[in-house]
C-alpha cells in the first residue's frame, strides 16, 4: 500500500485530498498544526470506511518538526510515496502599503519555507540515490500567483509565485531521482481560508465573474491532486493544473 503525506490535512483542500486518497487505496498521514480534533475526525472517517490513516501534529515552519513528521509517518506506514505540500496561511485583506514585516515573514515562513522543508525531506526519503523508490510531490499553489491579488493579499500571492518557480526548478533537479514535482493552482474554492482573509463569503461575492459562474469545491481540487500523484500522470513533471473555474 502506498503512503501519502498531506500537510495541513485537517481542513479544506487537505481534508478533501485525504478522504479521496484513502478511497483510492493510499495509507494517509494527516498532518495538522493546531486542530487535533479536526484531523482526528478525518482519520476516523477514513478508518470507518476501511482505510488506513493517522494524524500527526507538526509545525512545518520548524525543521525538527518536519523531520519528526516524516520519521513518524515512516514508522507508522513503512514508506512515503507522495507528499502533498498543502499547508498554507492567509492574513486579512489589505493594501500592501499597510502590511507590516511580521505579517509578511509569517506568510513566507509557512507558504514558502515550510513547503521547502517538507519537499527537501521528501526527496531524502523518495530519491533513488538515497535508496528510495521515487515518488511524487504536489505543491498547492494558487491562481493568485498569476493575478497578484492587488488590494487584498499581495504577500500571499507573492508567496505562491515563489512556489511556482520552486516547482519548475525542483521538477528538473529531481527527475533523475524518480521524483515528479507538479502543482495545482486553485482559486475561488469554498474553504474556510477566506475567513482567515476576513471575508468568509468572498467566493459568493465574485462568482458571477468566474466563467463557470460558480465557486469550486475542495473535492474538485483533490481530484487534480490525486491525478498528479498517480501513475496516470507518469509522464508529467513541472506542470500546473489551474482549478479555478476558467479564470
Please check the confidence at residue 198 and state whether its pLDDT lies above 80: no
Please check the confidence at residue 200 and state whether its pLDDT lies above 90: no
**Which residue do the cell numbers 482559486 mark?**
187
Mean pLDDT of the chain: 95
Please check the confidence at residue 194 and state whether its pLDDT lies above 70: no
What is the dihedral angle through the alpha carbons of 136, 142, 148, 150, rounded to the nearest 10 degrees?
A: -160
Please check the confidence at residue 195 and state whether its pLDDT lies above 70: no
Please check the confidence at residue 191 and state whether its pLDDT lies above 80: yes
Q: Quote the pTM value.
A: 0.95
Query: Strand 27-32 relative to strand 82-85: parallel, antiparallel, unpaired?
Result: unpaired
Cell of 97: 502599503
- Identify the pLDDT of residue 197: 64
- Identify the active-site residue in 32, 33, 125, 156: 156
Q: Which of 127, 107, 139 is nearest to 6 (CA)?
A: 139
Average pLDDT of span 139-167:
97
Region of 8 please: left (phi>0), alpha (psi -120 to 50) or beta.
left
- Identify the pLDDT of residue 205: 87
Please check the confidence at residue 193 and state whether its pLDDT lies above 80: no
26 catalytic? Reply is no
Q: Which residues contact 167 (CB under 8 A, 6 or more apart)?
A: 139, 141, 181, 182, 183, 238, 240
User: Tens of pLDDT along 107-132?
Assistant: 999 999 999 999 999 999 999 998 99
In 99-143, alpha helices (H): 101-108, 115-126
Contact between residue 189 and residue 215 where contact means Cβ atoms under 8 Å apart: yes
pLDDT band at 101 (very low <50, low <70, confident <90, very high): very high
Cell of 220: 474538485
Please check the confidence at residue 192 and state whether its pLDDT lies above 90: no
Query: Strand 135-140 relative to strand 27-32: parallel, antiparallel, unpaired?
Result: unpaired
- Identify the pLDDT of residue 159: 98
Does domain 3-243 bear CATH number 2.130.10.10? no
Domains of the chain, residue spans: 3-243
- Identify the pLDDT of residue 110: 97
CA distance to 8, 50, 129, 184, 195, per residue, from 224 (Å): 17, 23, 29, 7, 24
Amino acid at each position: 500500500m502506498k503512503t501519502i503525506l498531506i500537510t495541513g490535512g485537517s481542513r479544506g483542500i487537505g481534508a478533501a485530498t485525504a478522504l479521496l486518497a484513502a478511497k483510492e487505496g493510499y495509507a494517509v498521514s494527516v498532518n495538522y498544526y493546531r486542530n487535533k480534533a479536526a484531523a482526528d475526525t478525518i482519520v476516523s472517517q477514513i478508518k470507518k470506511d476501511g482505510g488506513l490513516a493517522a494524524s500527526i501534529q507538526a509545525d512545518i515552519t520548524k525543521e525538527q518538526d518536519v523531520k519528526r513528521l516524516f520519521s513518524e509517518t515512516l514508522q507508522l506506514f513503512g514508506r512515503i510515496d507522495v507528499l502533498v505540500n498543502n499547508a498554507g496561511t492567509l492574513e486579512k485583506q489589505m493594501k500592501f502599503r499597510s502590511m507590516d514585516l511580521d505579517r509578511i515573514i509569517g506568510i513566507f515562513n509557512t507558504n514558502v519555507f515550510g513547503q521547502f522543508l517538507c519537499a527537501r525531506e521528501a526527496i531524502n526519503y523518495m530519491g533513488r540515490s538515497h535508496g528510495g523508490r521515487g515518488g511524487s510531490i504536489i505543491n498547492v499553489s494558487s491562481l493568485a500567483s498569476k493575478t497578484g491579488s492587488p488590494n487584498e493579499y499581495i504577500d500571499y500571492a507573492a508567496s505562491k509565485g515563489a512556489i511556482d518557480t520552486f516547482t519548475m526548478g525542483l521538477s528538473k533537479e529531481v527527475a533523475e531521482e524518480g521524483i515528479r514535482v507538479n502543482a495545482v493552482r486553485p482559486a475561488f474554492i469554498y474553504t474556510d481560508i477566506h475567513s482567515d482573509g476576513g471575508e468568509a463569503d468572498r467566493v459568493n461575492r465574485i462568482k458571477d465573474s468566474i466563467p463557470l459562474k460558480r465557486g469550486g469545491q475542495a473535492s474538485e481540487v483533490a481530484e487534480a491532486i490525486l491525478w498528479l500523484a498517480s501513475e496516470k500522470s507518469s509522464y508529467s513533471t513541472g506542470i500546473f493544473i489551474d482549478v479555478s473555474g476558467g479564470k
